Structure formats: structure tokens, C-alpha cells
């Protein structure tokens, strides 16, 4: 009796590990000690052209005006055909501030062959335009990408060859395009979260050249990127992943030659049955894009873009069938 | 931007200007042939790319049937 009273008076001893906790190794306090960075084994950075991909995915959905119907039929695990119908207005770029819309309707037939080592995607429209993309893994680290738009009209076709080399913690790319376009870019991981890159290009026919620098900092929750180019463009972006389903993005672009600055702010909700992206711009443009999964393989799309300043209202709807 | 397919032509013209007269006419021939080759390659790609993908796809494993190309099911 006496012993129990004295026991109660003293502060209780710390509980000893019981049951399963004995079998597991003691939990290390990871937050307290900084993780040792292995400077020789940094992760491979994202490709240079995808440095702003999270911001682009959230802020620049493929808005359209009119009706869009896409049907993809898989014949094989790797081979599929696609049929696509579009009826609506397409914007023609014009010099004045008025938007110039041309009603168009076209049918597009496409064939895709997707192999881990070789990817061939071709799309042909009713007016004879061909859109071709080839991606071929020549070796484990070297990839060849070809992108071409061929038209029936002479002198309007474009093509670009890209050679990508992926190193352990860097990536480099060399581009050759028509019009004697040559470009190269290089991106390197400096730390587990930070990567810096640079690019140069030379346009032969117009004797123009340019150089640009980019930086990307990403953790699990945020991605911050910045790009500066000698063509007078500064682009910054910030994406925050608020939760598994929600991410918010903002973007700022400044063009020094035209003294023009634009910033936009958007959200991206990825829910079980739908994906909703919305954006608000400093030019007075409000846009939203909804992809709703009605059934397995059937997606319903709604697109809206309202430009208050130019009084341009674009609404589109569509259906995508197939994967 | 207006596009031209004479990508190789520009490089060859640069080489031609350094050489002698004979060298420059040979370079001109090479430039003409390469332009002709690029034009033919563009036409071949334009008409043949999608059939090429279909042929490669129909020969990949597991082989799909011919009717599956046309039927909407």
C-alpha cells in the first residue's frame, strides 16, 4: 500500500513501447534533422520547354468556340484511329484590336501509334493539311522528335527536328527548323529543388538571334518558375498545390518591346468526375473549362471565354468519346 | 511566319561562295538537287505519313482485323 502511494506521488514514468511498436524501428524525427543532400545524385530536371508546364496546364486550357466532337477508337493497345469534327468560329489574327472570326467546319482524321520507343501521331484535315509528330528513342538517353505541319499551299509548311539528350542531372536539346532556324537549350539541376536553364536560337532568314535564361524551383507543394529572354520577354509563374484536388496558379508576362504586361490567376480542380479550370486575366478576360466524365470513356466538355474589354464572347461545347 | 522548305539550300549556298567558279557551279547543282529532294520528300510525307502509321499499326501485335479500320465499334 505504501509503495503504491509513493508511486503515485512521483511523476509517472514514460510509457514503454507496447505491442507492435516494439517490432517497428523507432520513428526518426525527420523534421528536426535536415536531410543530407546527395550532391552527386541530383534528380533529372524537367525538359526546358516544359519548365512552366504546371502553370500552362492550369492556366491555358484549350478553349474553343463552337461544337467539338472527338471519337477515338483503339484497335490495339498501341494503335488507334481518331475522328474529330469541329464546327465553329476560328479567330483570324488581325492587326487592329477588333477580333476577326471566320466560321469554319472541318473533319479531321488521325492515326496514332504509341510504343514506348516510337510514337507516331498524324492528323489530316479536310483541306489537306497534315499535322505530324514523331518521337523516337534512338538510345536510352537520346531522343529524336519531329514536328511538322504540311499544307498544300507552297511555302506555308513548317517542320522542326529536335534532338534531346538526357544526362544524369541535366538535359540538353538541339533544334533545327525550316526557315533556317537553329536552337539549343540546356537545363541543369543545381539542388534537389532548383534547376537553371538557358537557351539560344538563331533565325537564318531574318538574321535574328536570341538568348534566354530560365529557373525553376519546385517542391511537393509549389512550383515557381522565371524566364527571361533577349527578345524582351519576362515570364514568371507560381503554382501552389493547395490539396490533392485543388491547385492555384498565377502567371505574369511582360513584353519589353511592346510595353505590354499581362498577369493571370487561375484555379484547377481535379475531382473524381470532372476537371474544372478557371482563370481571370488582367486584360479583363474570364475563362472556364469543364471536362465532365459522364461514363467510362465519354467526356462532356464546356468551354467559355468572356473578354469584357473587346466584347468578345466565346462559348463552346463538345463530347469526347474514347480514351 | 511564312515558311519555306529550302532549309538545306541556305547552308549549301554558304559553302558555294567560298569555292572557285567550278566549285560554285557544283555547289549550285547540289543546292538545286537538295531543293528538289526536299520538295519530293515533302510530297511523299504529305501523302504517305498517315498510310505509314496505319501499316505499322496493323502489323503490330496483337494484329487487328481489317474491318476494324472502318467500323465504328
Q: Specify which residues A173 forms β-bridges with.
A: A164, A185
Evaluate whether residue B62 is within a structural domain. Answer: yes
H helix count then E strand count, chain B: 3, 0
Q: Does A179 touch chain B (CB under 8 A)?
A: yes
Residues of B in Cβ contact (< 8 Å) with A75: 57-58, 64, 68-69
- For testing the chain A interface, which of B9, B48, B53 should be mutated: the one with the most A CBs within 10 Å? B53
- Residue of chain B whose Cα is closest to the Cα of A128: B46
Q: Which residue has the higher pLDDT, A93 or A249?
A: A249
Residues contacting A92, CB < 8 A, separation 6+: A100, A101, A102
pLDDT of residue A36: 77
pLDDT of residue B11: 45
The structural domains of chain A, ordered by start, are 48-322 (2.40.160.10)
Residues contacting A323, CB < 8 A, separation 6+: A72, A74, A80, A297
Q: What is the mean pLDDT of chain A?
A: 87
Evaluate whether residue B7 is within a structural domain. Answer: no
- For testing the chain B interface, which of A132, A154, A178 should be mutated: the one with the most B CBs within 10 Å? A178
Q: Tell me which of A196-210, A267-281, B22-36 is least confident.
A: B22-36
Evaluate whether residue B6 is within a structural domain. Answer: no
Q: Does A258 touch chain B (CB under 8 A)?
A: no
Flag if A111 and B69 touch (Cβ within 8 Å).
no
Measured between CB atoms, which of A111, A121, A179 is closest to B3? A179
Q: Is the pLDDT of residue A307 over 60?
A: yes
- Model's pTM, two decimal places? 0.78
Flag if A111 and B50 touch (Cβ within 8 Å).
yes
Evaluate whether residue B56 is within a structural domain. Answer: yes
What is the sign of the dihedral through the CA atoms of A256, A258, A259 and A260?
A: negative
Distance from CA of A121 to the nearest CA of B (A): 8
B32-51: string of b/e by CB count within 10 Å (b at 16+)?
Answer: eebbeebeeebeebbeebbe
Evaluate whether residue B52 is within a structural domain. Answer: yes
Report the alpha-carbon distance of residue B58 to residue B73 in Å, rounded: 17
pLDDT of residue A42: 87
Q: Does A183 touch chain B (CB under 8 A)?
A: no
pLDDT of residue A181: 92
Residues of B with CB under 8 A from a CB of A: 1-5, 7, 10-11, 42, 45-46, 49-50, 52-54, 56-58, 60-62, 64, 68-69, 72
Could you tell me the CA-to-CA distances from A152 to A43, A108, B38 in Å, in that order? Answer: 45, 16, 15
pLDDT of residue A277: 96
DSSP codes joined into one string, A90-109: EEEP-SSSS-EEEEEEEEEE
Q: Is the pLDDT of residue A247 over 80?
A: yes
Evaluate whether residue B13 is within a structural domain. Answer: no
Report the alpha-carbon distance of residue A217 to residue B23 in Å, rounded: 53
pLDDT tier for residue A32 given thresholds of 50, 70 and 90: very low
Flag if A113 and B53 touch (Cβ within 8 Å).
yes
Could you tell me the CA-to-CA distances from A148 to A108, A178, B55 in Å, in that order? Answer: 16, 10, 20
Evaluate whether residue B17 is within a structural domain. Answer: no
Flag if A179 and B7 touch (Cβ within 8 Å).
yes
Place of cell 541543369: A188
Enclosing domain of residue B63: 29-70
Rounded mean pLDDT, A157-171: 93
pLDDT tier for residue A76 given thresholds of 50, 70 and 90: confident
The number of domains in chain B is 1
Q: Is the pLDDT of residue A11 over 80?
A: no
Q: Tell me which of A2-16, A185-199, B13-27 is least confident.
A: A2-16
pLDDT of residue A15: 52
pLDDT of residue A6: 47
Report the alpha-carbon distance of residue A306 to residue A311 in Å, rounded: 8
Residues of B in Cβ contact (< 8 Å) with A71: 72
pLDDT of residue A100: 80
Q: Is the pLDDT of residue A25 over 60?
A: no
Distance from CA of B23 to the nearest CA of A (A): 23
Residue spans of chain B under pLDDT 50? 1-14, 16
Residues of B in Cβ contact (< 8 Å) with A177: 7
Report the alpha-carbon distance of residue A139 to residue A117 in Å, rounded: 9
- For testing the chain A interface, which of B13, B31, B47, B50 should be mutated: the one with the most A CBs within 10 Å? B50
- Residue of chain A whose Cα is closest to the Cα of B4: A155
Evaluate whether residue B15 is within a structural domain. Answer: no
pLDDT more than 70, % of chain A:
88
Contact A200, A209 (CB under 8 A): yes
Amino acid at each position: 500500500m505504501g509503495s503504491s502511494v509513493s508511486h503515485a506521488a512521483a511523476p509517472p514514468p514514460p510509457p514503454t513501447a507496447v505491442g507492435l511498436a516494439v517490432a517497428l524501428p523507432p520513428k526518426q524525427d525527420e523534421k528536426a534533422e535536415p536531410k543530407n543532400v546527395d550532391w552527386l545524385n541530383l534528380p533529372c530536371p524537367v525538359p526546358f520547354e516544359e519548365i512552366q508546364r504546371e502553370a500552362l496546364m492550369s492556366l491555358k486550357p484549350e478553349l474553343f468556340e463552337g461544337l467539338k466532337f472527338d471519337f477515338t477508337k483503339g484497335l490495339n493497345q498501341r494503335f488507334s484511329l481518331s475522328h474529330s469534327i469541329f464546327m465553329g468560329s476560328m479567330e483570324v489574327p488581325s492587326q487592329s484590336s477588333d477580333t476577326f472570326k471566320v466560321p469554319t467546319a472541318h473533319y479531321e482524321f488521325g492515326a496514332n501509334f504509341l510504343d514506348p520507343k516510337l510514337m507516331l501521331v498524324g492528323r489530316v484535315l479536310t483541306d489537306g493539311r497534315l499535322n505530324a509528330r514523331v518521337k523516337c528513342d534512338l538510345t536510352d538517353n537520346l531522343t529524336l522528335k519531329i514536328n511538322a505541319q504540311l499544307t498544300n499551299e507552297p511555302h506555308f509548311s513548317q517542320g522542326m527536328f529536335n534532338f534531346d539528350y538526357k544526362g544524369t542531372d541535366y538535359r540538353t536539346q538541339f533544334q533545327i527548323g525550316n526557315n533556317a532556324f537553329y536552337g539549343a537549350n540546356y537545363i541543369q539541376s543545381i539542388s534537389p529543388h532548383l534547376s537553371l536553364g538557358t537557351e539560344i536560337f538563331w533565325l537564318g532568314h531574318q538574321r535574328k538571334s536570341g538568348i534566354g535564361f530560365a529557373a525553376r524551383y519546385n517542391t511537393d507543394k509549389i512550383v515557381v518558375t522565371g524566364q527571361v529572354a533577349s527578345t524582351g520577354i519576362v515570364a514568371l509563374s507560381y503554382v501552389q498545390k493547395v490539396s490533392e484536388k485543388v491547385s492555384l496558379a498565377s502567371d505574369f508576362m511582360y513584353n519589353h518591346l511592346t510595353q505590354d504586361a499581362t498577369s493571370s490567376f487561375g484555379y484547377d480542380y481535379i475531382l473524381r468526375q470532372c476537371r474544372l479550370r478557371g482563370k481571370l486575366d488582367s486584360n479583363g478576360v474570364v475563362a472556364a473549362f469543364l471536362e465532365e466524365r459522364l461514363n467510362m470513356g465519354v467526356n462532356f466538355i464546356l468551354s467559355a471565354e468572356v473578354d469584357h474589354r473587346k466584347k468578345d464572347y466565346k462559348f463552346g461545347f463538345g463530347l469526347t468519346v474514347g480514351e | 511566319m511564312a515558311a519555306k522548305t529550302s532549309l538545306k539550300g541556305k547552308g549549301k549556298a554558304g559553302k558555294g561562295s567560298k569555292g572557285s567558279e567550278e566549285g560554285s557551279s557544283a555547289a549550285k547543282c547540289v543546292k538545286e538537287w537538295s531543293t528538289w529532294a526536299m520538295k519530293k520528300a515533302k510530297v511523299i510525307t504529305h501523302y504517305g505519313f498517315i498510310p505509314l502509321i496505319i501499316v505499322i499499326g496493323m502489323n503490330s501485335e496483337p494484329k487487328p482485323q481489317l474491318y476494324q479500320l472502318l467500323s465504328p465499334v
